[in-house]
Amino acid sequence: MRRDIFQAIADPTRRAIITLIALQAMTPNAIAAHFDTTRQAVSKHLRILTECELIKQQNKGREIYYQLEVDKMKEIDMWLEQFRKIWEERFNKLDKLLAKMKKQ
């Protein structure tokens, strides 16, 4: 079953995991050490993120490392871009209004 990436990032723990491995690839145990939850719970989050293709596994010897799938994150960024333009437009209007009020 392919999961929706937006459903995956809706969970705060999964967002925190993404933030952790954005800096460097990490083992499941290293990731789990950052959370006050069971190793099994972290594994479930890792599985969901992997199914959504937001992270990928890489085997190095006996260890599995998880790393961020940057191209998939770009998909999220592209979706957010439409809202970024709206926000910027609103902020520009607010700046103009504040400048006008300041002159008065």
Cβ atoms 55, 19 nearer than 8 A: no
What's residue 73's pLDDT? 87
What's residue 2's pLDDT? 64
Domain locations in the chain as residue ranges: 5-103
What's residue 89's pLDDT? 92
The SS3 call for residue 58 is strand
Q: How many helices (H) and strands (E) does the chain have?
A: 5, 2
What's residue 3's pLDDT? 75
Q: Identity (one letter) of the amino acid at 56? A: K
What's residue 54's pLDDT? 93
- Residues of the chain with pLDDT below 50 are none
Q: Identity (one letter) of the amino acid at 24? A: Q
Give the CATH fold of the 5-103 domain.
Arc Repressor Mutant, subunit A (1.10.10)
What's residue 62's pLDDT? 93
Contacts by 35-42, CB closer than 8 A, 24 or more apart: 37/13, 41/13, 42/13, 42/17
Q: Identity (one letter) of the amino acid at 42? A: V
